[in-house]
């Protein structure tokens, strides 16, 4: 798996830097090309010479050229290496470097490379237990995870401080397995493909301050957009109102209502190779939204009846357009799940429908995991176990990627 892969290893300063010698050795032994970036603090623990020797390439420590007069050493190594890599892993990642990554500070070789990175980024935090559990560190890690970076949680055990708790860098084999796993999930099979993803709920206005919405968190759609971008896809994400970070290399368009979502989807679908409708689009919207806030006094006199009208079914409209794009829908069912979802697949003329059963543990609104059944146009029905939403996205894109590769756009018409 790692043969000929280009792995950029970022090492920041912590006692566990010594374990990184083995990580670099294992990566090299598996056939990977390895380049090492170190912060100045990391060099306090192990010298750059050790990593240069193990990686057989000069470890980069400074943003500045070694010879200011040389035209061949322009001091842009961190950018070149960011573009060169198939994956970058930062281990150990200190609380300091995690905070810098979260805010976009780029004052060392590692954080500078990250800002220019186009490949998956893996972060393996290691620090004292109190630093790790500190609310700021936890918030920063949640932010980085939301941005689409992969976090390998630290392990419990004895720490350099003498305390026992969570904060240890996992063993080298585990770090290498993590790199392999992420590379496995991010083949470049969607290179050059235009992927349109919708996510989140829609908000249908009753008046300027009230709306009808639903509990969709948008996490499944954002995971799909992130995973598709990491596979090389040109991703447009049409998002309803959600408070989620935009994954890297994703073009995000924010919308509020079902009508706005329809317009945005139709404007982009013609150029798309695949459209994945993960959004929970409202089926009904207030027929006459009030332009002024509706007053309570007025309501209580006569009671309050809200007239609703049906929204357009975006997927159905897409399926009549016949522009050849692969169409993937979602279905949330409470009863006769397979039967209802299959019926939706047929009526909306979809290639795949992803069935969520509302009763499954681990598939709740807002959850980071999902339990789905993938039903194909050809009648295949595959129930997947509970897994993180990124992994569900990977399973969906594996199938979409195979279909896109198998049939050219023209043939699907
Ligand atoms: N969808 C859509 N346009 C709508 C409503 C839904 O494109 N106005 C899409 C959703 O994004 C999803 C799929 O259709 O991919 C199924 O949505 P769902 O609400 O489960 O199905 P409905 O057809 O609305 O049927 P029902 O609500 O009766 O289950």
User: Can you say whether the dihedral through the CA atoms of 316, 322, 323, 327 is positive or negative?
Assistant: positive
Q: Is residue 50 over pLDDT 70?
A: yes
How far apart (Å, rounded) are the C-alpha atoms in residues 140 and 102? 6
| pLDDT tier at 180, thresholds 50, 70, 90 | very high
Average pLDDT, stretch 23-45?
97
| Contact 123 CB / ligand 1 (< 6 Å) | no
Closest ligand 1 atom to 316 CA: 7
CA 278 to centroid of ligand 1, rounded, Å: 9
Average pLDDT, stretch 389-403?
96
Please give the model's pTM, rounded to 2 decimal places.
Answer: 0.91
| Contact 266 CB / ligand 1 (< 6 Å) | no
Same fold, 6-185 and 194-412: yes
Average predicted confidence (pLDDT) for the chain: 92
Catalytic residue annotation: 214
Encode pLDDT of 210-262 as tens digits: 999 999 999 999 999 999 999 999 999 999 999 999 998 999 999 999 999 99
Q: Is residue 19 over pLDDT 50?
A: yes
CA 313 to centroid of ligand 1, rounded, Å: 7
Nearest to 216 by CA among 82, 389, 70, 56: 389
| Contact 113 CB / ligand 1 (< 6 Å) | no
Q: Which of 198, 276, 281 to mutate to test the pocket of ligand 1 (most atoms within 8 A of CB)?
A: 281
Ranges of each domain in the chain: 6-185, 194-412
DSSP per-residue codes, 28-86: HHTT-EEEEEE-TTGGGTS-HHHHHHHHTSPPB--SS-SSTT-SS--S-HHHHHHHH-S
Average pLDDT, stretch 126-135?
96
pLDDT at 409: 47
User: Ligand 1, atom 28: nearest CA belongs to which residue?
Assistant: 283
Q: Which of 202, 220, 277, 365 to mutate to test the pocket of ligand 1 (most atoms within 8 A of CB)?
A: 277
Q: Are 383 and 360 in contact (CB under 8 A)?
A: no
| Contact 313 CB / ligand 1 (< 6 Å) | yes
Encode pLDDT of 344-363 as tens digits: 999 999 999 999 877 777 77
CATH 3.40.718.10 fits 6-185, yes or no: no
Q: Where are the beta strands (DSSP E) in 22-103?
A: 33-38, 87-93
How far apart (Å, rounded) are the C-alpha atoms in residues 370 and 149? 19
Q: Beta strand 194-199 with 234-239: parallel, antiparallel or unpaired? A: parallel
Q: Are 86 and 5 in contact (CB under 8 A)?
A: yes
| Contact 315 CB / ligand 1 (< 6 Å) | yes
| Contact 201 CB / ligand 1 (< 6 Å) | no
Closest ligand 1 atom to 315 CA: 7
Q: Is residue 408 over pLDDT 70?
A: no
Place of tokens 């392999």: 180
| Contact 281 CB / ligand 1 (< 6 Å) | yes
Q: Which of 278, 313, 349 to mutate to test the pocket of ligand 1 (most atoms within 8 A of CB)?
A: 313
CA 234 to centroid of ligand 1, rounded, Å: 25
Structural class in CATH, domain 194-412: alpha beta
């Amino acid at each position: 798996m790692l043969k000929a892969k280009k792995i950029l290893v970022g090492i920041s300063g912590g006692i566990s830097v010594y374990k990184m010698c083995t990580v670099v050795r294992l990566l090299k032994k598996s056939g990977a090309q390895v380049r090492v970036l170190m912060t100045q603090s990391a060099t306090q623990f192990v010298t750059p010479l050790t990593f240069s020797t193990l990686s057989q390439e000069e470890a980069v420590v400074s943003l500045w050229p070694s010879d200011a007069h040389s035209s061949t050493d322009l001091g842009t190594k961190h950018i070149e290496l960011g573009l060169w890599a198939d994956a970058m892993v930062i281990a150990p990642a200190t609380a300091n470097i995690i905070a810098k990554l979260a805010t976009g500070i780029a004052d060392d070789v590692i954080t500078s490379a990250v800002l220019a990175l186009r490949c998956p980024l893996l972060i393996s935090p290691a620090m004292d237990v109190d630093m790790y559990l500190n609310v700021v560190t936890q918030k920063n890690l949640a932010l980085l995870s939301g941005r689409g970076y992969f976090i390998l949680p630290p392990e419990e055990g004895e720490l350099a401080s003498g305390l026992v708790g969570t904060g240890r860098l996992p063993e080298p084999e585990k770090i290498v397995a993590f790199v392999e796993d992420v590379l496995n999930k991010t083949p470049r099979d969607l290179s050059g493909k235009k992927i349109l993803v919708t996510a989140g709920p829609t908000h249908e206005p009753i008046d300027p301050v009230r709306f009808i919405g639903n509990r969709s968190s948008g996490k499944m759609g954002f995971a799909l957009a992130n995973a598709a971008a990491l596979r090389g896809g040109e991703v447009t994400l049409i998002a309803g109102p959600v408070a989620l970070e935009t994954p890297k290399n994703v073009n995000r368009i924010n919308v509020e209502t079902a009508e706005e979502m329809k317009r945005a989807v139709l404007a982009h679908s013609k150029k798309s190779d695949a459209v994945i409708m993960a959004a929970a689009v409202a089926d009904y919207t207030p027929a006459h939204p009030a332009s002024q806030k509706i007053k309570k006094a007025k309501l209580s006199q006569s009671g309050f009846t809200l007239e609703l009208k049906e929204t357009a079914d975006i997927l159905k409209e897409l399926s009549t357009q016949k522009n050849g794009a692969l169409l993937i829908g979602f279905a949330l069912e409470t009863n006769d799940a397979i039967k209802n979802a299959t019926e939706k697949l047929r009526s909306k003329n979809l290639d795949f429908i992803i069935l969520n059963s509302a009763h499954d543990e681990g598939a709740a609104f807002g959850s980071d995991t999902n339990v789905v059944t993938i039903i194909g146009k050809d009648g295949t029905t595959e129930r997947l176990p509970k897994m993180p939403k990124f992994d569900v996205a990977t399973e969906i894109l594996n199938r979409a990627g195979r279909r896109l590769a198998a049939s050219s756009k023209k043939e699907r018409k």
